[in-house]
Amino acid sequence: MSAGRIGIIGAGASGIGVARALRKDGLDFEVIEATKDVGGNWQPDGPASKMYRSAHLISSKKNTQFSDHPMPDDYPHYPHNSLMFKYLNDVVDAADVRKAIRFGAGVLHAAPEDGGWRVTLSDGEEAFYDALVVCAGLLRKPFAPVYPGRFDGETMHAADYRSSAALEGRRVLVVGGGNSGCDIAVDAAHVAAKVFHSTRRGYHYMPKFIAGKPTQEWLMDISPQFRGADEYWSHVADVFKLAGFDGRDFGLPEPDHSIQAAHPIMNSQILYHIGHGAIAPAPDVARLDGGVVEFVDGRRERIDVIVWATGYGVDLPFLSGAGFDAKADLGGAFLKVLSGRYDNLIYVGYLNTPSGIGNIANIVGKFVSKYLISKNEKSPGWIRLKSIQSSGAQIDLGQDRFMKTSRHSHEVDLWKFIKTINFISSELSK
């Protein structure tokens, strides 16, 4: 069954999911982790952390946990980030994975060599792996847009935001309409002198609870009642409007996309604070003028601090070499997982779904393990898979359902992805 020695880059949730699966199948692996702890983005004080003091899960406990390792019963529906960090540590220890993690060893360079990968580490060592699984995460390189003019006040990216204390008594502009932007705007509303929230378009907002249930669970529970997606989403939109979560009722612009075409914004408080005047909606920024920000509608506001909640770019510097364009390879990865250039290079965690991490991490981890085993055996299933991949065939993962924006470039339909990955996993060993 040996698939050689496997290197897993990153001990965040995705890396943990892969490591658990490899451990269950008895494969030889090492997790390479640049920091001193597991959890990646969920580390409260780690260099890769994006956690702010008030951050809770936006996917429910049931939809976030590993199904074979449930969160404790006393965890709330939407656990605080500190509980998620504790949970990931519990998962690591229960799966007997911690002893296989090489802490404090960042990857400086990884290059193909003799059918495997030679990896240079920040601790001064080198390692060789027969296969490499990259789980370094999507939230690597904070992105901030560039506008004409100059801003003389303070700026920070959401990646560096830790608490509302930095915003107290100040005139704050939060730029970005995603979940982090909405969370930070709500945070600021409690302490800032004034909060402006700039978004480029109208959005669909989802409450965190409907009918006494976490919204994601309610969405799944009601889906069998409808004959198709259009009827289902039309009902969902009607219920959200009745519950007070239609942004147009608060003076926000009409969305230019359907509710199912975007990653969900899950926030029960953003419209509440807009309705109470604590958050002032604003359109896109037009230009910066010293201590003033001008918006595309001509409005000008004096601003003390700008928080850029404007997303991240993919950054895989350790794979840039020997003419290999890692970003292009990642963008064209088969099933969003398999490199198009190397059959022993795998990407995990480089996709988004409207779901928590646990189900996806479990399913993809099992797929990776089966893929590596069948690759070693050159099973008929693996040969068929590689033939399909090399043919250039496009597998429908529901990606065409989503908006064509940078934010959605990694988005897939949850159920289509799960169905496809599970089917191919079952075929690999045949």
Mean pLDDT to the nearest integer, 407-425: 87
- Whether 74 and 118 share a structural domain: yes
* Number of neighbouring beta carbons within 10 Å of residue 52: 18
Rounded distance between C-alpha atoms, residue 128 and residue 5, angstroms: 8
- Whether 405 and 274 share a structural domain: no
* Number of neighbouring beta carbons within 10 Å of residue 229: 13
Give the CA angle between residues 220, 223, 229 to the nearest 5°: 120
Give the CA angle between residues 126, 129, 135 to the nearest 5°: 95
- Whether 366 and 265 share a structural domain: no
Mean pLDDT to the nearest integer, 197-210: 96
Phi, psi of 151 (to 5 degrees): -110, 125
Q: pLDDT tens, 106-123?
A: 999 999 999 999 999 999
- Whether 201 and 319 share a structural domain: no
Tokens of 171: 């005139």
Estimate the crossing angle of helix 380-390 against helix 357-377, to 10 degrees. Answer: 110
- Whether 109 and 177 share a structural domain: no
Q: What percent of the chain has pLDDT over 90?
A: 81
Mean pLDDT to the nearest integer, 373-389: 95
Buried b (16+ CB within 10 A) or exposed e, 342-358: ebbbbbbbbbbbbbbbb
Residue 428 three-state SS: helix
Domain that holds residue 181: 144-308
More confident of the two residues 359 and 229: 229
Burial grade of 150 (CB within 10 A; 0-12, 13-18, 19 or more)? exposed
* 296 contacts: CB under 8 Å, gap ≥ 6: 283, 284, 285, 286
- Whether 265 and 330 share a structural domain: no
Q: pLDDT tens, 29-64?
A: 999 999 999 999 999 887 878 899 999 999 999 999
- Whether 180 and 319 share a structural domain: no
- Whether 109 and 194 share a structural domain: no
- Whether 108 and 253 share a structural domain: no
Phi, psi of 350 (to 5 degrees): -105, 45
Rounded distance between C-alpha atoms, residue 231 and residue 421, angstroms: 27
- pTM for the structure as a whole: 0.93
Q: Which of 265, 292, 308 is the last residue of a domain?
A: 308
The CATH number assigned to the domain holding 206 equals 3.50.50.60
Confidence band for 2, pLDDT divided at 50, 70 and 90? low
- Whether 338 and 287 share a structural domain: no
- Whether 30 and 110 share a structural domain: yes
Residue 327: the pLDDT is 83
Residue 136: the pLDDT is 92
Residue 295: the pLDDT is 98
Tokens of 4: 């050689």
Query: Is residue 409 over pLDDT 80?
Result: no
Rounded distance between C-alpha atoms, residue 352 and residue 207, angstroms: 20
Mean pLDDT to the nearest integer, 92-111: 96
Confidence band for 322, pLDDT divided at 50, 70 and 90? low
Phi, psi of 345 (to 5 degrees): -125, 125
Chain centroid offset of residue 80 CA: 17
- How many structural domains is the chain composed of? 2
Q: pLDDT tens, 276-291?
A: 999 999 999 999 999 9
DSSP, residue by residue, 239-259: HHHHTT--GGGGTPPPBSS-G
Query: Is residue 71 over pLDDT 60?
Result: yes
- Whether 239 and 328 share a structural domain: no
Q: Whose CA is closest to 346, among 389, 306, 305, 310?
A: 389
* Number of neighbouring beta carbons within 10 Å of residue 232: 17
On whether the CB atoms of residues 165 and 159 are closer than 8 A, the answer is no
More confident of the two residues 245 and 315: 245
Q: Which of 276, 308, 340 is the last residue of a domain?
A: 308
Rounded distance between C-alpha atoms, residue 161 and residue 167, angstroms: 10
Q: Which of 283, 308, 333 is the last residue of a domain?
A: 308
Residue 139: the pLDDT is 77
